[in-house]
Amino acid sequence: MDKNSKMKEELKKKSRPNDSLESFNHDLSKCLPLYQKLIKKCTPNQYKDPQLKEKAQDLFNELMKSKYNYSALEKIEKEVGVCFG
């Protein structure tokens, strides 16, 4: 391996943590709006039907655990769509 190739490899290794950090920050920036949207739909107090209220409470609890996990929020969003339209 020549000197230029070694330098390019070193640069790639050094740039990877920043790339993953940018990706992480991007995911976090997407989490908050989705979380806020879902929390409004999953607040149990707005439902009078006991079954809907219980389902909303379960989803609300999941939301509280998954506030910063975008993939989990996406799954909850699908379930909210099925349950509450």
Instruction: Check residue 12 and give its pLDDT.
Output: 55
76 pLDDT above the threshold of 70: yes
Residue 45 has pLDDT above 60, yes or no: yes
Residue 30: pLDDT band (50, 70, 90) is: confident
Q: Where are the domains of the chain?
A: 3-84
The predicted pLDDT at position 63 comes to 94
Contact 39, 1 (CB under 8 A): no
Q: How many CB atoms lie within 10 A of CB 68?
A: 13
| Mean pLDDT, range 23-48, rounded to an integer | 86
The SS3 of residue 1 is: coil
